[in-house]
Structure 1
Amino acid sequence: MTTAFTFPGQGSQAVGMGRALADAFPEARAVFDEVDDALGEKLSAIMWDGPAETLTLTENAQPALMAVSLAATRVLSSRGVAIGREVAFVAGHSLGEYSALAAAGTLSIADAARLLRIRGHAMQEAVPVGV
């Protein structure tokens, strides 16, 4: 049997996402720290404590969803479920494509976070909140 990982697009974000993963696994915490450093702010604090209105802004939701996806992937990899060995394919829906690229090692987590912040900001500008 062949295994594939698929990564979600925007819409599956929720305040608190990733906190239990970061608390339980140092390798997951490292991913959230890397994303925070890349963005120059504590996106993890918005993810874990809200408010929901701030998390759901496209410029925050997109890098946040990628961070959770990559944190889970890193935990699985540390437990022997590695992309390229046990996992043959990665794919993603919309912003999930960036998660898939970072999971496969094509983009660094920091570069994916910065690209998704830019992408999310551009999308937010195209359709401002409340329009």
Structure 2
Amino acid sequence: MFILSILKDNVRVHPKDFRKPRPSALTDELNKKYANKVLHNVGLCIRVFDIIEASDGVVHACQDGSYQSKVTFRMIVFRPFGGEILIGKIRDCSQEEGIKVSMEFFDDIIIPPTFMPAGTE
């Protein structure tokens, strides 16, 4: 259900965050960008697990003074496997839309009527 995915991105850190330790500043920016977002072919990003590698920052003095680093990091991702059994609570159901299921951290699961077993009403 939960996996660690390795991702790479360019991260921009603003001058107001220069007082933070560098790993914390990078992690905060990555969480702002990815947490609670669905990445195609990856899954629902939960939060940054750790930073594997970060390049030296390049300062953009002519802009706002922020620096940018190339970062390789591991992200905790919700990605159920095919055939995996998950436990949730039924929020709503209708014959047209199917069943809406809520898990403790995720409320947007919809099971269409076409995926229901035969004889289910």
Q: Same fold per TM (> 0.5)? A: no
What's the TM-score once normalised by structure 2's chain length? 0.23
Q: Answer with 1 or 2: which has the greater Rg.
A: 2
More helix by share: 1
Which has the higher relative contact order, 1 or 2, with Cα contacts under 8 A spaced 6 or more apart? 1
More strand by share: 2
What's the TM-score once normalised by structure 1's chain length? 0.22
